[in-house]
Amino acid sequence: MPTVAPLDIDGHVVAAHFLGDIPIFATAAGTIHRLDGGEKVTDAHHGLLTCIRDPFSATLLSGGEDGRVQRISHYGTVSTISETPRKWISVVAGGPQGAVAWAQGKSSFVKLPDGTVKEVKEERSVEAIAFAPKGLRIAAARYNGVSLHWVGTNSPMQDLDWKGAHTGVTFSPDGRFLVTMMQENALHGWKLDSKSGESRHMRMTGYPAKVKS
């Protein structure tokens, strides 16, 4: 029979995830709580802003008020990906081959598998980042659309324009579609493999509330 294990956590819980069969809770104070044969606590940040599950590995990625981007394993081990003092990191994303992306204001940063860091500048503040399922390609959501970048090459940026504030972004599992969450109660999508003359836009409106994920 399933059992319910109570866990009394002080402060606000920003995110909850499973790594394997281990439940993990990340708090705004920067502590990571794991239920693994009892409660275990790890200090990851001095103020945590975001914590996501890396879809390409069995780890979590987090960003905080301390300017750090951290990778957290299911053992609770914390490794620092990047540290920029006096910068708040509220946008992070995991990519193939261990790549990690994060945003600061109008810039996206990608740490490539070889350890080098590439900066991509935008005209607007970056609200969300996602990696394509294959290749080192990122989508950066911003006001009035999304920017697509091949970060491992010098290929030109591709703009996907649509009026409004785009607050989240994700690729379809096959990489053929890109969908954003918007400030209003709507989603917007693009067909990335559309042929010449075909409409590439997918408007999705009428939701009773803002779509969060």
Instruction: Give the structural domain span for 140.
Output: 91-213
Q: What is the pLDDT of residue 43?
A: 96
87, 108, 131: which is the final residue of a domain? 87
Model confidence pLDDT, tens digit, residues 46-90: 999 999 999 999 999 999 999 999 999 999 999 999 999 999 999
Write down the pLDDT at residue 145: 96
Residue (of 58, 51, 17) closest to 34 by Cα position: 17
For residue 197, what pLDDT is reported? 57
Q: State how beta strands 39-43 and 117-121 pair.
A: unpaired
Same domain, 81 and 96: no
The per-residue pLDDT for 92 is: 98
* Same domain, yes or no: 125 and 140: yes
Write out the E strands in 122-212: 128-131, 137-150, 158-171, 177-182, 186-191, 201-205
Pick from 78, 80, 68, 113: nearest CA to 95: 113
What sign has the CA pseudo-torsion 111, 113, 118, 119?
negative
Let me know whether 144 and 185 are in one domain. yes
In a domain, 7, yes or no: no
Structural domains of the chain, count: 2
Rounded CA-CA distance 129/110 in Å is 10
Kindly state whether residues 95 and 57 are assigned to the same domain.
no
Query: What is the predicted pLDDT for the residue at 3?
Result: 77
- What CATH number corresponds to the domain at position 59? 2.40.10
For residue 174, the one-letter residue type is D
Domain boundary among 26, 52, 87: 87
pLDDT for 38: 87
Give the Cα separation of 14 and 89 in Å (integer): 14
pLDDT of residue 198: 62
User: What radius of gyration, in Å, describes the C-alpha atoms of the chain?
Assistant: 18
> 85 φ, ψ to 5°?
-55, 145
pLDDT for the residue numbered 154: 83
Low pLDDT (below 70) residues in the chain: 1, 196-199
Tell me, what DSSP letter sits at residue 12? -
The angle formed by the CA atoms of residues 98, 67 and 160, to the nearest 5 degrees, is 60
Give me the residue label for tokens 């504030």.
165
Q: Is residue 72 part of a domain?
A: yes
> Regarding beta strands 128-131 and 117-121, do their DSSP bridges make them parallel or antiparallel, or are they unpaired?
unpaired
pLDDT of residue 212: 83
Closest of 38, 37, 36, 39 to residue 9, by C-alpha: 39
Q: Confirm if 181 and 170 have CB atoms less than 8 A apart.
A: no
103 and 206 both lie in a single domain: yes
- Shared domain for 19 and 63, answered yes or no, is yes
- If phi over 0 gives left and psi between -120 and 50 gives alpha, with beta otherwise, what is residue 208? alpha
